Amino acid sequence: QKEVEQDPGPLSVPEGAIVSLNCTYSNSAFQYFMWYRQYSRKGPELLMYTYSSGNKEDGRFTAQVDKSSKYISLFIRDSQPSDSATYLCAMRLGAGGTSYGKLTFGQGTILTVHP
Amino acid sequence: DGGITQSPKYLFRKEGQNVTLSCEQNLNHDAMYWYRQDPGQGLRLIYYSQIVNDFQKGDIAEGYSVSREKKESFPLTVTSAQKNPTAFYLCASIGQGGSPLHFGNGTRLTVT
């Protein structure tokens, strides 16, 4: 079983839809949670970065973390064609000698938003 | 403009040849990383370096080697011992205090 499982998709939605992307994880030591967006033939870019359980909002994006259920989500409101990309969840252990860049990634979900 | 530059964008090699992928950053970051991305598998850590002249193996280091002679540069060599070298390779770096990982735009390596 992989440490991080991400709903594989692909997802295809009409413009304006609400999109929900999800990951589950098995390692309760993960403390920091991230969502990256990756356009075709580009490197991933950070969308959201959260530490604690709860919600964090940034414009049309909301990241949700439920540590008790080991479940994280990314919601995209009013989706746009420019949101079409691969979305990757990522997480890492806490501090204390661990390299901050050692992330464990989900498999990625390909999202297409059509006009 | 600060960032991470990976070159070349596309690389083609014959089986049995070693190949070196370049990664340069001007962000003044101490720590640098190499990840490999395969379709449907997310990213997997190959090697990382937290300081000049020091580096550690990641989860899939077999068949790869790195060096870190300068803070700005962290080249990755894909050796002939790597059984499945065709992949998208991503270099990343991170600043102090646990700031998020910052990626370059990758090198797509095809070995035939």
Residue of B4, B42, B50 lying closest to A105 (CB–CB)? B42
User: CA A98: distance to chain centroid?
Assistant: 21
Tens of pLDDT, residues A2-31: 899 998 789 999 999 999 999 999 999 898
In this complex, is the C-beta atom of A71 within 8 Å of any C-beta atom belonging to chain B? no
CA dist., res. B102 & res. B105, Å (int):
10
Å between B67 CA and nearest CA of chain A: 18
Report which of B75, B64, B86 is spatially closest to residue B15, judged by C-alpha positions: B86
Quick one: DSSP state of residue B53?
A: T
Kindly report the backbone phi and psi dihedral angles of residue B9, in degrees, each rounded to the nearest multiple of 5, phi listed first: -75, -40
The amino acid that residue B30 corresponds to is D
What residues are paired with A74 via a beta bridge? A21, A63
Q: Is B101 on the interface with A (CB under 8 A)?
A: yes
Residue pLDDT, tens place only, B47-96 = 999 999 999 999 999 999 999 999 999 999 999 999 999 999 999 998 87
Read off the tokens for B74: 């962290």
Chain B interface disruption, residue of A5, A99, A110, most B CBs within 10 A: A99
Return the DSSP state at B73.
Answer: B
Stretch A91-112: mean pLDDT: 85
Instruction: Quick: pLDDT tens for A38-93.
Output: 999 999 999 999 987 889 999 999 999 999 999 999 999 999 999 999 999 999 98
Q: Kind and range of the H or E element at A3?
A: none
B78 CA: distance to closest CA in chain A (Å): 19
SS3 A22: strand
The whole-number pLDDT of residue B1 equals: 59
